[in-house]
Structure 1
Amino acid sequence: MSVEVARSVDLPVYTPPEKGFKLTSNGGAIEDENIGWLKETSKDAPVELIKERYIKDGYVLVKGLLPVEAVKNMRRAYFDFVKCTGVLKEGTDPVDGIFVGGDPKKYGGPGSAATGEGTLDPQQIEFLTKATEAHYADFYEEFQKIPELYNFVRKITDWENILLLQRQMLRTNIKGSEATAVHYDQIFLRGALPTSLTAWVPIGSCAANGGSLIYLDKSHEIGREIENDFSERAKSFTPQERLSAFNSNMMRGGILSDDAQGFGKVYGRKWLMTNFEDGDVVFHQPFMIHASSVNETEKIRLSTDLRFVNPDDDFDRRWTQKWYVGDGL
């Protein structure tokens, strides 16, 4: 795999958002010289510009795409649904999602490392159960139908028909919990060619150091190179082994690294971040490398990953069933 200096001359000039700001991954702080800003794109931008950025940059950050009221309603409904577990600070408004404090592993939701660490205690089981049930709730089903999402996917892809894969996750990132490690989505979608498109939707505003996603600059090129290398080394694998993200060529959970700082330096690329506001959405390619920051704030980050495909094309049919704990994907 080649090492290439970042081509980031077209990135917004980076200055820290505030004195004392730090961006941290599981491997520690990311240095200021290795941080940049995500480009912002207006929801009304010309289609040609939207497509160009998606192809060239591997992502499009769309400001204010979703109706703010729909986002707030979804956030309130979710935290109303799980507040019985004790995750929220007493006396606070559920829509704010303020963490009660204490051990974040007590509230490990879908996709969190805490849910895979041996036997869960009753508190962990209670929260994980409610968080899982939320995937089947009417408020989540309705949120996924927001027409602005589908309209923008169509702008990027020109697909006549659009299918939302049913395997999605509602993820929480709580202060002090383990962040999402470095990865790209195609690692988990190997049942088909890389034709999916992911919409990462923060459900409520989220500061850059509040557990939001960070993207490695133009890393869709690197992700494709890594996948090609994997395919070469997996020639002797069984078909089932080649499909799995959890194999001998990967780290735990199919990740590329726990250390975003170190991974970015190897490739000479900056980690791009932003302060997400209500209604913002990031659309990214299946090889775009990303992670999350460690949440340094009291506010719980709530988000969902929505993956779209063209139903008339090849797609990973393992992802047509709703997520459940231990589904192996």
Structure 2
Amino acid sequence: MLTSNGYELVESPDRLGQLTETPDEERSDRDALWRRLRAQGYLLLRDQLPTEEVAAFRRFYFETLAPAGVTRSGTGPEDGIAGPGPIDQATYRQALFGHVVPSVEYDRLCRLPSIAGWFGWFLGDDVHLHRRKILRHTRPGQNGIGTATQAHYDLVYLRDGTDRVLSMWIPLGDCPTTLGGLTYLEGSHRVVLAEEAQGRLKRPAASITADLPGLADAHDARWLVTDYRAGDVMIHSAHIIHAALDNVDPDGRMRLSTDIRYQRASEPIDWRWQQHWHDRDGL
């Protein structure tokens, strides 16, 4: 059973499906990748990143947050096992926003050749990495409304720049569906593009809904899921609707992920997104 914010996804063939992996023969064919991105709204690239780099950052993240009680005492930081007690919020916030987010380790991860170099090749131009990069870890058992990322499309949060910004979602460790990875509403980018063309802009920035089954019915579409592995990445347009599943891992493992954004440096940039991420930045 898959849930998001406590809502149970309908697992019938017309409401739930699998994300399509990008075939190996297209990985070095830029035109083929663009056709796929336009058709699907996303690219699932398996084994895009060196797993040792992903593992090193995962270890760094949980080691840094361990003093706040984020991880269980006596377990390895790379395991990401949730601690049993309450989190020391002051220590947590200082560790996350004061150390991890502005760290050279995080910046280096986001500028790996398999990321920055790939975007430069794919976009065929000098590229710009948005400084506001978001890290999330989710604990198992959190399944009420507001605990998982609700259905949304990224453009509602990036109104002041180009609509051709691309997001990369990176699972920082293996992330089967039970751990709460991203799910995408099939074909929704075409609907959103049409609504945007008609000037129906969503302001202020807001999620669409926590009710994923209801949204699937409204669109007569499927939610697409997969078991992600360390090294995989998802690239998606600013128009496709996506959300996160609940973490129901029976062993207490936390999901850790980051989402970052690249665009052509020559196109308009949303300057509100050029400061380090903070959960009180108003965005």
Tell me the equivalent position of 1:173: 138
Tell me the equivalent position of 2:280: 326
- Structure 2 residue 208 is the aligned partner of structure 1 residue 256: yes
Tell me the equivalent position of 2:217: 265
Tell me the equivalent position of 1:23: 2
Tell me the alpha carbon deviations over residues 37-85 of structure 1, each in whole angstroms, 9 at most, x when there is no partner: 1111256453332221111000000000000100000100111110111
Tell me the alpha carbon deviations over residues 198-257 of structure 1, each in whole angstroms, 9 at most, x when there is no partner: 00011111011211100111111122244456x4478xxxxxxx5x41xxxxxxxx1100
Q: Under a length normalisation based on structure 2, what TM-score does the superposition of the two structures give? A: 0.90
- Structure 2 residue 82 is the aligned partner of structure 1 residue 99: yes
Q: Secondary structure at the match of 1:32?
A: coil
Greater CA deviation, 33-42 or 75-84?
Answer: 33-42
> How far is the alpha carbon of 1:194 from its aligned partner?
0.5
Q: Residues 41 and 187 of structure 2 are in contact (CA less than 8 Å); yes or no, is this contact kept in structure 1? A: yes
Match of 1:306 among 243, 260, 283: 260
Q: Residues 23 and 30 of structure 1 are in contact (CA less than 8 Å); yes or no, is this contact kept in structure 2? A: yes
Tell me the alpha carbon deviations over residues 162-211 of structure 1, each in whole angstroms, 9 at most, x when there is no partner: 01010111111111231100000001001123120000011111011211
Q: Residues 27 and 260 of structure 1 are in contact (CA less than 8 Å); yes or no, is this contact kept in structure 2? A: no
Structural mapping, 1:53-132, within 5 Å: 53-101=36-84, 106-107=86-87, 123-132=88-97
- In structure 2, what residue type is equivalent to 1:319? W
Rounded to whole Å, the distance in 2 between the matches of 1:319 and 1:62 is 25
Q: Secondary structure at the match of 2:101?
A: helix
Tell me the alpha carbon deviations over residues 2-53 of structure 1, each in whole angstroms, 9 at most, x when there is no partner: xxxxxxxxxxxxxxxxxxxx11011511011121111112564533322211
Match of 2:108 among 121, 142, 148: 142
Tell me the equivalent position of 1:51: 34
Rounded to whole Å, the distance in 2 between the matches of 1:226 and 1:264 is 17
Tell me the equivalent position of 2:21: 40
Rounded to whole Å, the distance in 2 between the matches of 1:232 and 1:60 is 26
> How far is the alpha carbon of 1:265 from its aligned partner?
1.2
Q: Residues 216 and 269 of structure 1 are in contact (CA less than 8 Å); yes or no, is this contact kept in structure 2? A: yes
Q: Residues 42 and 63 of structure 1 are in contact (CA less than 8 Å); yes or no, is this contact kept in structure 2? A: no
Q: Residues 162 and 267 of structure 2 are in contact (CA less than 8 Å); yes or no, is this contact kept in structure 1? A: no
Tell me the alpha carbon deviations over residues 72-99 of structure 1, each in whole angstroms, 9 at most, x when there is no partner: 0010011111011111122211101011
Q: Secondary structure at the match of 1:200?
A: strand
Rounded to whole Å, the distance in 2 between the matches of 1:290 and 1:220 is 10
Greater CA deviation, 272-281 or 134-143?
Answer: 134-143
Rounded to whole Å, the distance in 1 between the matches of 2:278 and 2:271 is 16
Q: Residues 208 and 274 of structure 1 are in contact (CA less than 8 Å); yes or no, is this contact kept in structure 2? A: yes
Rounded to whole Å, the distance in 2 between the matches of 1:98 and 1:225 is 43
Tell me the equivalent position of 2:226: 274
Rounded to whole Å, the distance in 1 between the matches of 2:181 and 2:276 is 24
> How far is the alpha carbon of 1:267 from its aligned partner?
0.4
Tell me the equivalent position of 2:172: 203
Taking a change above 3 Å as real, the CA distance of residues 233 and 275 of structure 1, as seen in their structure-2 partners, is: closer
Unaligned runs of 5+ in 2: none
Unaligned runs of 5+ in 1: 1-21, 108-122, 235-241, 246-253
Q: Residues 54 and 156 of structure 1 are in contact (CA less than 8 Å); yes or no, is this contact kept in structure 2? A: no
Q: Under a length normalisation based on structure 1, what TM-score does the superposition of the two structures give? A: 0.78
Query: Among the aligned pairs, what percent are the same residue?
Result: 32
Q: Secondary structure at the match of 2:267?
A: coil
Q: Secondary structure at the match of 1:136?
A: coil
Rounded to whole Å, the distance in 2 between the matches of 1:277 and 1:45 is 21
Rounded to whole Å, the distance in 1 between the matches of 2:201 and 2:172 is 39
- Structure 2 residue 270 is the aligned partner of structure 1 residue 287: no
> How far is the alpha carbon of 1:101 from its aligned partner?
3.4
Q: Residues 27 and 261 of structure 1 are in contact (CA less than 8 Å); yes or no, is this contact kept in structure 2? A: no
Q: Residues 195 and 314 of structure 1 are in contact (CA less than 8 Å); yes or no, is this contact kept in structure 2? A: no
Q: Secondary structure at the match of 2:60?
A: helix
Rounded to whole Å, the distance in 2 between the matches of 1:232 and 1:180 is 23
Rounded to whole Å, the distance in 1 between the matches of 2:126 and 2:140 is 40
Rounded to whole Å, the distance in 2 between the matches of 1:226 and 1:173 is 32
Rounded to whole Å, the distance in 1 between the matches of 2:197 and 2:253 is 39
Tell me the equivalent position of 2:118: 152
